[in-house]
Structure 1
Amino acid sequence: MRYTLKITSAVALGGVVRPAGSIVDLDEATAKNLLQRGKAELTEKSPPPPAPDGPIGTDDTEGKKKGATRRQRKTPSDEQKGGDA
């Protein structure tokens, strides 16, 4: 599938520098890459963008518990001082 994008920040495509404002026709993989990096936006002629694959734009830390921390060992000098380390 081909996508028509408007370049928002100068990029090199196929060895040619495309300035901001350029309209380009690209393959799906290149279009996804530029859209995810914020270097281009869809034009009205383009089909809706495909859902991104992989970890980009996701937060995998949600719902995970932090690991327990270990308590420090008491040394003999701490016990003599009455310290609570």
Structure 2
Amino acid sequence: MNRLEERNRKFLTYWKKRREHKRKYVALAGVWPLFIAILAYLWTIDLKLPDIDVVQFGLQIIVYTSVGVWYGLWSYKKHEKMYQELLAAKDTEQA
């Protein structure tokens, strides 16, 4: 078995488990931008907590979370497409 086949087999095993929980996969992708938004905002106000502008902070969280969810959906679709292609190739190889 060559290296590419081993990698594809590992991917099939990995994605078979992950694909069952689409919402969880997308939500996890949408959560990490929240941490980035908080850190970025705190950096822009030089860590002075009384200077927090709630509207700007809320807008930043909405934007970062939207990008995270979009990335999660895009990533899910990309992985699902690859999974289906590998399954089809595996089925034709076995036949």
TM-score, shorter chain, exceeding 0.5? no
Q: TM-score, normalised by structure 1?
A: 0.26
As a proportion of its length, which structure holds more strand?
1
As a proportion of its length, which structure holds more helix?
2
Structure with the greater relative contact order (CA < 8 A, sep ≥ 6): 1 or 2?
2
**Higher gyration radius (CA):** 1
Q: TM-score, normalised by structure 2?
A: 0.24
